[in-house]
Amino acid sequence: MKFRLSAALTATAAACALATSAMAEPVIAKLAAAAPGAAKPVAGGAVFECLGAVCAARSPSGETSTLRGCKELARQMGTVNSFGPASRPLSADQLAACNESAKR
């Protein structure tokens, strides 16, 4: 009986984790300058699709919305004005740190 309950709980937890990662919120970056043409940089473990001054990662990893992800994108695309999912964008201080990478 304990084994069945444990197996059922494990299966439920795995299903919830899979559903959560499959429904991850996109990470959106707004650039200071429009990119020439379309670009697909990889940053924070995800592929961003950039068109004009907007880049979006539709299938972000756990690292995509971090300061590290922003820095990696800034190195490739230039200054970033906003970054992150709509529910958790980076703060002004984090964006300043992110954009230091674009200058290097």
* 23 pLDDT tier (thresholds 50, 70, 90): low
Express each pLDDT in 56-102 by its tens digit: 999 999 999 999 999 999 999 999 999 999 999 999 999 999 999 77
| Res 21: pLDDT | 45
d(CA 48, CA 57): 4
| Res 27: pLDDT | 98
3-class secondary structure, 46 = strand
Is the per-residue pLDDT at 10 higher than 60?
Answer: no
Residues 44 and 68 sit within 8 Å (Cβ to Cβ): yes
Is the per-residue pLDDT at 6 higher than 60?
Answer: no
